[in-house]
Structure 1
Amino acid sequence: MFSREMMPASTPKLDDLLLTAKLDSSQLERITAELNAISMAIAALAPLDRVELRKIAQDLQVAAIVSDWIDDWPLERAGLPEQYNIQQIRALVLIVHHLAQQHQPLVRRNIDDWQQTIQADRLPLQSPQLADYIGNFITMYQDRSGGAGNLSFEELAETALNLTLGLLFYGSPNGHQRLWGALLQRSQ
């Protein structure tokens, strides 16, 4: 019998992300928008560069699938596609999962700060760390939407905080499957 420590760690693969039905164009657009928002949340927590992203994509064996996405990083308004194809989405899910795992200490720290502000009956922006994160997220969102975003400051701040909670789950051992399932469910 193997102990838990002796079991080899599994590496998330594209094959873990099953698709049981064909996605239409509007579903792919919704998934693309959500993946872009999640990517912005990670980048708002910790700066990401192309070299790091390329290394992660190579390690996950998806570099060829997401090379254009990496070349366009950070995603500028002109570089944002309306939709990714299903292979790109699956590859980006693996990358987001990896990044969420890698940055779990930052994610947890932000969630702890958020809980403390709630308990102290303060606004999240009164926490310096949360204020930085929310500010970074809002700046990226506005840059990428070209000012055409229809969300208020408060809605964007709430979105940033909710995405942080999502990153907690997406960084778990089976987080890539959780993210995949959430994307498919929300695209309906």
Structure 2
Amino acid sequence: MPASTPKLDDLLLDVQLSSSQLAQISTELNEIVTGIAALTQVDRVELAKIARDLQVEAIVSDWIDDWSLDRAARQTQFTVQQIRAVVTIVNQLTQQHQSTIRQHLNYLHQTIEDRQLPIQSPALADYINNFMTIDRVRSSRSTQSLELLETIALNVLLGLLFYSSPNGHQRLWTALLQRSHHSIVRPSGN
């Protein structure tokens, strides 16, 4: 089945995002791209090619240039236009690698069924280790526990399948906006 081409015009925004919402979305989007890279070994060259194909290269060229840099030397927060462009790139990548995503989800299902830890599956162990390695270089957050990073990696893997559908860019866009909105309106713990 041929991949559909996501369009920026499909990703509408009817409210202005706060700085903290942009930061949260940027973090989440970087985790998703980290998951794709951990699973597929996508590099700057492939990201640039997809950005050109989607006609968003001018919007994300700085982000692509920063892709291999460590966290101290790169841009940490996206603009709304960059978020929209990266969402379309994520959709295109997940469509291209949908069979790999499904295969790894099958491995995850099998480990759960066999009552094993995901790390006991060689393919999942490779994915998780790749995710952690890329995260150490790319993430601006403070050091996380291995268990938390494993959970993030597996949650990202689960999400990748939803983003690989023909309208996955709209699903991802909506999910990012909803989660950023919910994080802002949550009451603070006293």
Q: TM-score, normalised by structure 1?
A: 0.90
| TM-aligned CA distance change 1:156 to 1:12, over 3 Å | same
CA distance in 2, matches of 1:9, 1:56: 12
- The 5 A counterparts of 1:23-102 are 23-102=17-96
**Pick aligned residue for 2:160 from 139, 161, 167:** 167
Question: Are residue 156 (structure 1) and residue 149 (structure 2) matched?
Answer: yes
Q: Is the 8 A contact 2:63 2:75 kept in 1?
A: no
- 2:187 is matched with none
Q: CA offsets per residue over residues 31-80 of structure 1, 9 Å max, x none? A: 00001000100000011222211110011010100011111122521244
Unpaired stretches in structure 2, ≥5 consecutive residues: 182-190
Moved more, 176-185 or 73-82: 73-82
In the alignment, is residue 118 of structure 1 matched against residue 121 of structure 2?
A: no
SS at match of 1:87: helix
Partners of 2:3 and 2:87 lie apart in 1 by: 19
Q: Is the 8 A contact 2:39 2:127 kept in 1?
A: yes
Distance 1:49 1:19, change over 3 A: same
Deviation at 1:14, TM superposition (A): 0.6
Alignment gaps of 5+ in structure 1: none
Q: 1:75 to 1:187 in 2, by over 3 A?
A: farther
| TM-aligned CA distance change 1:10 to 1:130, over 3 Å | closer
Give 3-state SS (helix, strand or coil) of 2:13's partner: coil
- Taking the TM superposition and a 5 Å limit, the aligned residue runs for 1:99-110 are 99-110=93-104
Shift in alpha-carbon separation, 1:57–1:146, aligned structure 2, 3 A: closer
Match of 2:188 in 1: none
Q: Could you tell me the percent identity over the aligned residues? A: 61
C-alpha separation between the residues in 1 aligned to 2:108 and 2:145?
20
State the alpha-carbon separation in 2 of the partners of residues 80 and 30 from structure 1. Answer: 17
Matched, 1:22 2:16: yes
Aligned-residue RMSD, C-alpha: 1.8
Which consecutive aligned stretches of 4+ in structure 1 deviate over 6 angstroms post-superposition? none
